[in-house]
Structure 1
Amino acid sequence: MSQEILINVTPRETRVAVVENGVLQEIYIERACRRGLVGNIYKASVSRILPGMQAAFLNVGLVRTAFLHASDITCPATPHESGSVPVADITDLLKEQQHVLVQVIKDPIGTKGARLTTHITIPSRLMVLLPDNPTVGISARIEEEAERARLRRIGEAFVAAGEGCGYILRTAAEGATEEALRCDRDFLGKLWKSIQVRSDLAQPETLIHGDLPLALRALRDLITEGIAKVWVDSWETYQKVQVFCEQFLPDIAELIEHYQGERPIFDLYGVEDEIQRALERQTQLKSGGYLIIDQTEAMTTIDVNTGGYVGHRTLEETIFKTNLEAAQAIARQLRLRNLGGIIIIDFIDMEEEDHRRQVLRALEKALERDHVKTQISGVSALGLVEMTRKRTRESLERVLCEPCRTCAGRGSLKTAETVCYEIAREILREARQFDVQKLLVLTSQEVVDLILDQESDTLAELESFIGKPIEFQAEPLYTQEQFDVVLM
């Protein structure tokens, strides 16, 4: 399975695309005016403690205060007899105006501020440093038991020789030599000490350590065994990437190439068209079926439909094949659109239990390639597949779009007929309260046309009832729902 990473750089925006066998799988976008905050470390001050929520709001120097839950605070805890570790009370962990070193684990999303933790993690290419947490973790993607055991032995040796720090061995550590892992450990140790020094000297509400820019972060986090090439279309960024790779990722330096073609690299790979399609509500399947994807504040719902696919055998076989194809498409759309939180999938109802099991298994297998943690809770009593996908940053739609100014994000408008009757009620209300000579209604052209044509009898009755003339004036800047009744 051939994968390529495309890095497109313009003065104020960097975009990274992951292309698999010529098909876009993931897109990352970072703008100079609104960089992602995940991974940043701040010296924060506690603004407000909420005992009822077991949480606190902290000032980190951003527009909105950030949120810290008690479960995300490092503290010594004594296990219960059952073996579980209780979460200490928030009032015992924090005091107002206290200064705390925190890390962002979720970007601000919608009206919510950033989500914080005091469990600091510092990633490198092969490892993740866990200060003050002397444990060893191995990536679940490393499946060979002998390799897991080897990495665990190395990790435990690092912990034993360290200063109370723990380590997570990342997927990229598979097959890495002990010397390479030791170099990573030494780099992370020096970085953590420099962070501690800066934290001691810094004022509260200050950024202590910022994560890498997107182009470099992509090399650190997205390079896997299947990556064949990394294309960079900016010479300046290409040079920075080369220096970064020579210093930290020498084993992948040969994969980096500067793209010099006249045609934009995203156009060459069809990425721009895929991004446009990823913003649409409907996603077509090759068979003729389609998905309807609706993103709301609480959850994302995905509805599967057969559409124009009629199959060749039985209805059950047609539905089964559509659902199998949909399972693959859904996994890709989740990555491409970066949909997170609760996700409800309404596959077409299948009568055979074996078909339901195969579709669920196909979805699970397709999700295995996702870098983001996903969990399928199972099938509900209504036959809906319930799952979650970890949300750390805004979805593609939220990054590139804003709510419609005409419908305010509702996705629908009142009909011209509805607005006509609203105007009639408003005229009656104004005529009863005020003594006027006539009334002037300012509204959209569509409403004016409807009133003077199909609703002309209604207008005549209304004028007769209030005993006053009513004039209409079309306002080109008014939306279909807007109107004003002017008393004259």
Structure 2
Amino acid sequence: MNNIVITRQNNRYLSVLFTEGRPSRMHCSPLLQEEGMLSQICLARVKDVIPAMKGAFLTVPEGRTVYLPLSESGDFLCANRSFSSLSELHQGDEIVVQITGEAVKTKPPLASAMPVLTGQYCVCSLFGHGIHVSRKLAPERQKELKTAIAEAGIEGRKNFQFTVRTNADTLKELTPLFQEMQEFICFFQELTEIYRHRSCPSCLYRPLPELIRQIQDIPLTAYEEIVTDEPEVWQLLKDTFPEKTVRLYQDPSLSLSRLYRLDFFLQEALSRKVWLPCGGYLVIEPTEAMVVIDVNSGKAVHKGRSSQDYYRKVNREAAAEIARQLQLRNYSGMIMVDFINMESEKDQKELLFLLDQLLKKDQVRTRLVDMTALGIVEITRKKINRPLFEEMQKNS
């Protein structure tokens, strides 16, 4: 059975998605009472505009500073005056923003002037129009969902932009999707009415806890059960995911962490070296600019097997493990992979095709760019959250 296991480790929650008995995703998140700013929608005051950076620093609640790129094009909400472009923003202006990125080292949190609400079945954008459906669904299903939404007669829908998530495909009846859309419409309608009358800075919207948002990003079809030993988390999960089995684990003789060997798997996910079944291994090195992965053949080639056959086997196993590790460790940006050199051009093309197919299964946008003249494979992966090792450092 595929399931999600959630337990407390020191001053954080550790959530692990197990797929066929192996962890395929791991996340650390703050305790419910220690939630951060990510995804909050605020009325913020412009503290300073830096033309050379094409950005502005804003003050949000609790006196914190966030950074807003002024390169965004589109509509926005300013409480104290009207103007047509963010490039006209002045010190003292009051603008509605959403926190879209966490602080990284010396950089402040990132903000956007185009708020979105993310639910279990859809994403609603304050600015924009139309219905979009996840491209991971079949074209026929995309068309069916668009038609069903158009025929549902949801009041106010045409004033906002919606993107239907893959989770909507699991619904036998689309009522939960329609209800979620209506809730988002009501919230944004109220937001556009009240933001001018709120004190600045102030918080206009607090999202669900990060732990819940992380689980919402996992397709409902990827797991059958959620298990936790935290009563408060158990109750919240039951309320948020009524269609799923949510079990409270209570056994004082054996902790949930030990039952699922979470310490072992966590240590494995943070290790530089990852062993392959054939005896080869990966060396994974995150750097400031990129993630570098080196594929090694390991011990001597087995007898009775040519070196090229063995290299082909190592590379194929490495491709599958790399696709898994990128999700497990949540690496993003540029990833450079040095596979073992193979003499056959046909073998190289087959390897790239295999890797490309594996990467397409990732819920996060991941793309195989090319193989360089030196035989290095370039991959890019969209940044969603911090990588696992940074989450561990942040919550340690």
Taking a change above 3 Å as real, the CA distance of residues 315 and 340 of structure 1, as seen in their structure-2 partners, is: same
Counterpart code for 2:52: G
Q: Is the 8 A contact 2:71 2:87 kept in 1?
A: no
**Is 1:288 matched up with 2:284?**
no
What is the match of residue 356 of structure 2? 364
RMSD: 2.6
TM superposition shift of 1:20? 0.5
Q: Secondary structure at the match of 1:207?
A: strand
Q: Is the 8 A contact 1:9 1:237 kept in 2?
A: no
Q: Is the 8 A contact 1:147 1:175 kept in 2?
A: no
4+ residue segments displaced more than 6 Å: none
Question: What is the alpha-carbon distance in structure 2 between the residues aligned to residue 304 and residue 332 of structure 1?
Answer: 15
Q: Equivalent of 1:343, from 332, 335, 358?
A: 335
Question: What is the alpha-carbon distance in structure 2 between the residues aligned to residue 209 and residue 161 of structure 1?
Answer: 20
Q: Equivalent of 1:235, from 231, 236, 259?
A: 231
Q: Equivalent of 1:173, from 160, 168, 172?
A: 168
Question: What is the alpha-carbon distance in structure 2 between the residues aligned to residue 390 and residue 292 of structure 1?
Answer: 22
Q: Is the 8 A contact 1:54 1:89 kept in 2?
A: no
- Determine which structure has greater relative contact order: mean sequence separation of CA pairs < 8 Å that are 6+ residues apart, divided by chain length: 2
What is the match of residue 309 of structure 2? 317
**Is 1:99 matched up with 2:90?**
no
Q: Equivalent of 2:202, from 203, 206, 210?
A: 206
125-134 vs 18-27, greater mean Cα deviation? 125-134
Question: What is the alpha-carbon distance in structure 2 between the residues aligned to residue 199 and residue 235 of structure 1?
Answer: 37
TM superposition shift of 1:61? 4.0
Question: What is the alpha-carbon distance in structure 1 between the residues aligned to residue 199 and residue 352 of structure 2?
Answer: 52
- Whose radius of gyration is greater, 1 or 2? 1
What is the match of residue 222 of structure 2? 226
275-284 vs 31-40, greater mean Cα deviation? 31-40
Taking a change above 3 Å as real, the CA distance of residues 10 and 201 of structure 1, as seen in their structure-2 partners, is: farther
TM superposition shift of 1:54? 2.6
Q: Secondary structure at the match of 2:132?
A: strand
TM-score scaled by length of structure 2: 0.87
Counterpart code for 2:140: A
TM superposition shift of 1:299? 1.1
Q: Secondary structure at the match of 1:137?
A: strand
**Is 1:123 matched up with 2:103?**
no
Taking a change above 3 Å as real, the CA distance of residues 193 and 152 of structure 1, as seen in their structure-2 partners, is: same
What is the match of residue 55 of structure 1? 55
295-304 vs 38-47, greater mean Cα deviation? 38-47
Q: Equivalent of 2:187, from 187, 191, 200?
A: 191
Deviations, residues 377-429 of structure 1 (Å, cap 9, x unaligned)? 11122211111111232222122238xxxxxxxxxxxxxxxxxxxxxxxxxxx
Taking a change above 3 Å as real, the CA distance of residues 175 and 336 of structure 1, as seen in their structure-2 partners, is: closer
Structure 1 runs not aligned, ≥5 long? 77-87, 403-488
Deviations, residues 157-187 of structure 1 (Å, cap 9, x unaligned)? 5688535111111101115334332212112
**Is 1:135 matched up with 2:125?**
no
Q: Secondary structure at the match of 2:224?
A: strand
Question: What is the alpha-carbon distance in structure 2 between the residues aligned to residue 54 and residue 305 of structure 1?
Answer: 44
Deviations, residues 96-115 of structure 1 (Å, cap 9, x unaligned)? 22111111222222222222
Counterpart code for 2:29: E
Q: Secondary structure at the match of 1:393?
A: coil
TM superposition shift of 1:325? 0.7
Taking a change above 3 Å as real, the CA distance of residues 159 and 120 of structure 1, as seen in their structure-2 partners, is: farther
Taking a change above 3 Å as real, the CA distance of residues 120 and 180 of structure 1, as seen in their structure-2 partners, is: same
Taking a change above 3 Å as real, the CA distance of residues 172 and 385 of structure 1, as seen in their structure-2 partners, is: same
Matches within 5 A, 1:11-26: 12-26=11-25
The aligned length equals 382
What is the match of residue 148 of structure 1? 142
Q: Secondary structure at the match of 2:221?
A: coil
TM-score scaled by length of structure 1: 0.72
Q: Secondary structure at the match of 2:389?
A: helix
TM superposition shift of 1:62? 6.7
Structure 2 runs not aligned, ≥5 long? 77-83
What is the match of residue 463 of structure 1? none
Taking a change above 3 Å as real, the CA distance of residues 208 and 10 of structure 1, as seen in their structure-2 partners, is: farther
**Is 1:258 matched up with 2:248?**
yes
